[in-house]
A and B are shown apart, each in its own frame.
Chain A
Amino acid sequence: MTSLALHGVRGGLGRSALLAALGYALQGMGERVLLIDLCPSNLLGLHFNLPLDTSEGWALAEREGRPASDAVYEVLDGLCLLPFGNLPGSSRHLVPDALAWRARQAELAEQFDWVLFDLPQPLADSAVNGIETDVRVLVAEAEMASHLLLGRRPVEHYDMLLVNRYDPASRLQSDLLMVWRDLFGERLPIQVVHRDEAFLEALACKAPLGHYAPQSLACRDVQSLAVRCLTRRGP
């Protein structure tokens, strides 16, 4: 089992949609995948057609003294999803317990080839989430805020830099990508995912990108990402 998480240099980079698309792509390659939503916003399940009013999730199960495995949905053969769940308003700020998740990862090791975590964006002054994964992907967009925040990250802690929503027609974006290749290219592989309306439409249709628009440019990019991930697959 190999665990993976997408870390954003800032929020709002489309990580949940990317993670849903990556999970779907890995499942399409014959991998057994579990997607875990650690974000209290509880949106990941919507990419896999879960009803909007679904309250079940690991956080709700935990609160009610049930095992988290109660809340696992098998959304496709070999593709399972563990939503965060919908907690009553007062307890929405639940912080995932890194130690508990480490123990759960060990339990899941035999059932899945991949466990993909959708992490909440940590506050700027707080420590990183604490969830340890085998593969750590840093996500940015080719714009200046990402550039400045990227400069504050220890890039050697990550396995890959994913440039999301890339528009090659933009002079600024192509310049930034060139500078990043120059700055980081030797230390950090860079994966580009092109800006594509299909990403937005896919969520509107409650499907992961690869299901909604298998021929789209962004879908091909995500498949490249999945192939790269396979090279890091553990036993």
Chain B
Amino acid sequence: MITGKADPSDRSDDIAQLRQHLDMPELNYQDISMLVGVQQALQRWPLLGESCRASSQGGLYAAVRQREGVSS
């Protein structure tokens, strides 16, 4: 059955083609649904959110902190 949804396995190729088309090889692709899911998880579980914020001195959670900024 054709659902109209893109095959996830094609997605990386799409991004590669977009990078090529725009001539921007450094273009940083972020999966928005993953980003939102992570953000919701950090809000749902207070200790998880606190642990990610608490390590602001270290680099471990830098990606999450960066993404918190994106979605807020």
Task: For residue A111, give the distance in angstroms from its CB to the closest CB of chain B.
Answer: 41
Check B48 for interface membership: any CB of A closer than 8 A.
yes
Task: Assess A182 versus B34: contact at CB under 8 Å? Given A151-B55, A151-B60, A175-B41.
Answer: yes
Q: Chain B residues near A183: list those with CB within 8 A.
A: 60-61, 63-64
**Which of B37, B44, B48, B58 is the one whose CB lies under 8 Å from A147?**
B48
Instruction: Please give, as numbers and ranges, the residues of chain A lying within 8 Å of B44 by CB-CB distance.
Output: 171, 175
Contact B51 A151 (CB under 8 A): yes
| A147 and B64 contacting across the interface, CB-CB below 8 Å | no
Instruction: Classify chain B: how many residues form its interface, as a range.
Output: 10 to 19
- Chain B residue numbers with a CB within 8 Å of A171 are 44
> Per a CB cutoff under 8 Å, which of A147, A172, A175, A178 touches B51?
A147
| CB contact list, A164-209 vs B, under 8 A | 171-172, 175-176, 178-179, 181-183
List residues of B whose CB falls within 8 A of some A CB.
Answer: 34, 37-38, 41-42, 44-45, 47-48, 51-52, 55, 58, 60-61, 63-64, 67
Smallest CB-CB A-B distances: 4 pairs: A175-B41, A182-B38, A178-B37, A179-B41
